[in-house]
Chain A
Amino acid sequence: MVVDGYNKEQIFNYADVMERLDNDAELVEVLIDAYLNELPGYFKKLKSAAESEDYTALAIVAHTIKGSSANVGVVLMQQISASIELACNNNETFKIKDLISEFARRYDVVLSFFHNFNGENKGERV
């Protein structure tokens, strides 16, 4: 499956998360569902912190999304969150606007991916 130029492994590393969680497919499914429920809230907090130029808060939110995405194997969001956190910590605030735009683009990719993933590859997650 390819979404907006990203292949499946670039979006979601199912093999890695299964290995880390001892092949507990049921747990992975619970975590992914919870993550998809949380993602809009994460994005809202991220945009709010960026708009108010509160880079301390932005670094914390980005760090949280990075950890959360890593736990569930959503590498596409893990990477962009790490970049936002790094830019905040290095005071490279001129990068933030573009990084938030990239986050928004990847957010849509992830939502689209899991929407299709449920249908096309259901057997892999059950």
Chain B
Amino acid sequence: MKALVVEDDFISRLLLQKLLAPFGEVHIAVNGLEAINAFENAAKAGSPYDLICLDIMMPEMDGQEALRKIRSIEENNGIFSSKGAKIVMTSALSDIPNVSKAYQNLCDGYLVKPIEKTKLFELVNKLGIS
């Protein structure tokens, strides 16, 4: 599995990186803009990400906007919903508008911080990317 962790906070990046390392290669980005660049570069190199963990509240470009753009890029390349990257939002925001918006923008899962190892692993297994 190839994963991209997008978090502006070092501790959250470190935690997700450590938890996902046993599954394969883990890359990091610190905001939505970097995530888009990493996503496009990986796709161009023919080695797209299987999993993207995306924080919402970040500077430069937030996670909701990054999610929308990634799905838009996939759609423009003829890649639709279930065939695209599995995108899991990882956020301390648990309010219904944010969760609903993320699912409307076609995320595959939503984990509320603090991150629980069991829930993360269950989701990774459920999404069939372990």
Per-position contact with A for B54-96: 1 when CB-CB < 8 Å, else 0? 0101010000000000000000000000000000000110000
Is B114 positioned at the interface, with any CB of A under 8 Å from its CB? Answer: yes
* Chain B residues, Cβ within 8 Å of A70: 92, 113-114
Is A35 positioned at the interface, with any CB of B under 8 Å from its CB? Answer: yes
Question: In angstroms, how far is the closest chain B Cβ from the Cβ of A72?
Answer: 6
- The total of chain B residues at the interface (CB under 8 A) is 19
B8, B14, B18, B118: most-surrounded residue (chain A CB, <10 A)? B14
- The total of chain A residues at the interface (CB under 8 A) is 21
A-B contact count (CB 8 A): 53
* Chain A residues, Cβ within 8 Å of B57: 60, 63-64
Is B25 positioned at the interface, with any CB of A under 8 Å from its CB? Answer: no
Q: Whole-angstrom distance between the alpha carbons of A68 and B55 in the complex?
A: 12
Which residues of B approach A to under 8 Å, CB–CB? 8-12, 14-15, 18, 55, 57, 59, 91-92, 113-118
